[in-house]
Structure 1
Amino acid sequence: MIALLTGKIAYKSLDHVIVDVGGVGYRVTVPLSTFYQLPDDGLVQLQIHTNVKEDAISLYGFLTPAEKAMFALLLSVSGVGPKLAVNILSNIPAKDLRTALGQGDIRRLSAVPGIGKKTAERLSLELKDKVARLAPFSTDEHSATTIEPTATSLDDALSALVNLGYKDAQARKVLESLEVAPEAGLEEILKGALKVLMK
């Protein structure tokens, strides 16, 4: 089982990266919380969760052990698969998710596309005690990384929001209402849009 990958980023997109480890490219699905922190090139080390099915082996990557632990906890809940767990971590950072689960914040949890009230209640019920036993978050786990702005940042942000489960019209409306500089990068736009959508 693959638990850690260290290599160069050969390709980077909103939902996955390809990490070149000694000439072998590993496709790794990542949540937005990890994507925001990845450099455009150079060495990267990802904590890996390996998911094995009959027809596929999928890798899910995280920058910190805390994110990986939250992902594994989410998978322990009946009805939550890897895709939904990644979607949850893309919408709610691991530290905030831990707080929401610990406090039984159903409203915050059910604001994530793909999670209804019943699923949110089940997540809170099953994980409330488990998150309390997790190791505390390090204060420097999410050091900021600058992502270069591009001309297609708004288009990329729209695509990311739609992939996360938001309706196209809803995502467009939020993006149009955001007050961001024309040269704003994808990370800044996505964070702003998700703040509005999660209210």
Structure 2
Amino acid sequence: MIGRIHGRLVSKQPPQLLVDVGGVGYEIEAPMSTFYNLPAVGETVTLHTHLTVREDAHLLFGFGSQAEKSLFRELIKVSGVGPKLALAVLSGVGVEEFWDSARNGDAARLTKLPGVGRKTADRLIVEMRDRAGGFTDSPVGFNGVAVPSSPLQDAKHALAALGYKPAEIQRLTDAVHREDMSTEQIIQEALRRAVR
């Protein structure tokens, strides 16, 4: 699996871009939200990537933030939503705005996105509403530059990675979190409480 690409941006023609990594050119498809923040051609870029393997092709998708990549992966799990539609959704709406729409059942907002009809919007809401609470913007920004995060936020991300649902994560962390706790302590206490 190719999880991240770091190299020189050779070309950018939406939705495709080419990144040279040690003499190998990677063709990557990216949403417009990523394109808007790309550096100039010839400069160094870091992208979070997702590789899709099909019988007829290996497709590499790139994102400016881990949050975009996570949402892309959640979208393609939804029945009837493929990579192209997931890119269109990410191109038309920000990560937080999408999760807000899913939480609030705002199908009208989602139907304004290209390729999303009423049935698809309803399916997105039904299948993604329960996941919406666990996703916030990633502590890693564009080009892999770390942005400060809190131990509580890091613990919530870790619990989500372990498969806990957003409502359960909130319940567990609310019950155990104190200001002086480290990420590891919050996770340990939350897991202890979860198995009681």
TM-score by length of 1: 0.68
The question of 1:24 aligning with 2:46 is answered no
Evaluate the alpha carbon distance shift between residue 139 and residue 23 of structure 1 in structure 2; reply closer, same or farther with a 3 A threshold. closer
Q: CA RMSD in A?
A: 1.7
- Could you tell me how far apart the structure 1 residues matched to 2:131 and 2:61 are? 21
The question of 1:75 aligning with 2:76 is answered yes
- Could you tell me how far apart the structure 1 residues matched to 2:67 and 2:114 are? 23
Structure number with greater Rg is 2
Contact 2:65 2:138 in 1 (8 A): no
Q: How does 1:35-114 map to 2 (within 5 A)?
A: 35-41=35-41, 42-114=43-115
- Could you tell me how far apart the structure 2 residues matched to 1:70 and 1:51 are? 15
Q: In the TM superposition, what is the alpha-carbon distance from 1:141 to its structure 2 partner? A: 3.9
Aligned pair count? Answer: 142
- Could you tell me how far apart the structure 1 residues matched to 2:134 and 2:126 are? 15
CA deviation digits over 1:89-127, x for unaligned, max 9?
001111211111111110000111211111100000000
Q: In the TM superposition, what is the alpha-carbon distance from 1:138 to its structure 2 partner? A: 5.0
Contact 2:65 2:140 in 1 (8 A): no
- Could you tell me how far apart the structure 1 residues matched to 2:21 and 2:132 are? 33
1:44 aligns to what SS in structure 2? strand
- Could you tell me how far apart the structure 2 residues matched to 1:57 and 1:138 are? 26
Unaligned runs of 5+ in 1: 144-199
- Could you tell me how far apart the structure 2 residues matched to 1:4 and 1:39 are? 17
Unaligned runs of 5+ in 2: 144-196
Contact 1:17 1:28 in 2 (8 A): yes
Evaluate the alpha carbon distance shift between residue 140 and residue 73 of structure 1 in structure 2; reply closer, same or farther with a 3 A threshold. closer
Contact 1:45 1:63 in 2 (8 A): yes
Runs of 4+ residues over 2 Å off in structure 1: 138-143
Paired position in structure 2 for 1:118: 119
Contact 1:12 1:40 in 2 (8 A): no
1:122 aligns to what SS in structure 2? helix
1:38 aligns to what SS in structure 2? coil
- Could you tell me how far apart the structure 2 residues matched to 1:50 and 1:140 are? 20
- Could you tell me how far apart the structure 2 residues matched to 1:20 and 1:139 are? 26
1:115 aligns to what SS in structure 2? coil
- Could you tell me how far apart the structure 1 residues matched to 2:11 and 2:107 are? 36
- Could you tell me how far apart the structure 2 residues matched to 1:132 and 1:15 are? 29
Q: In the TM superposition, what is the alpha-carbon distance from 1:23 to its structure 2 partner? A: 0.5
- Could you tell me how far apart the structure 2 residues matched to 1:38 and 1:107 are? 30
Q: In the TM superposition, what is the alpha-carbon distance from 1:140 to its structure 2 partner? A: 8.4
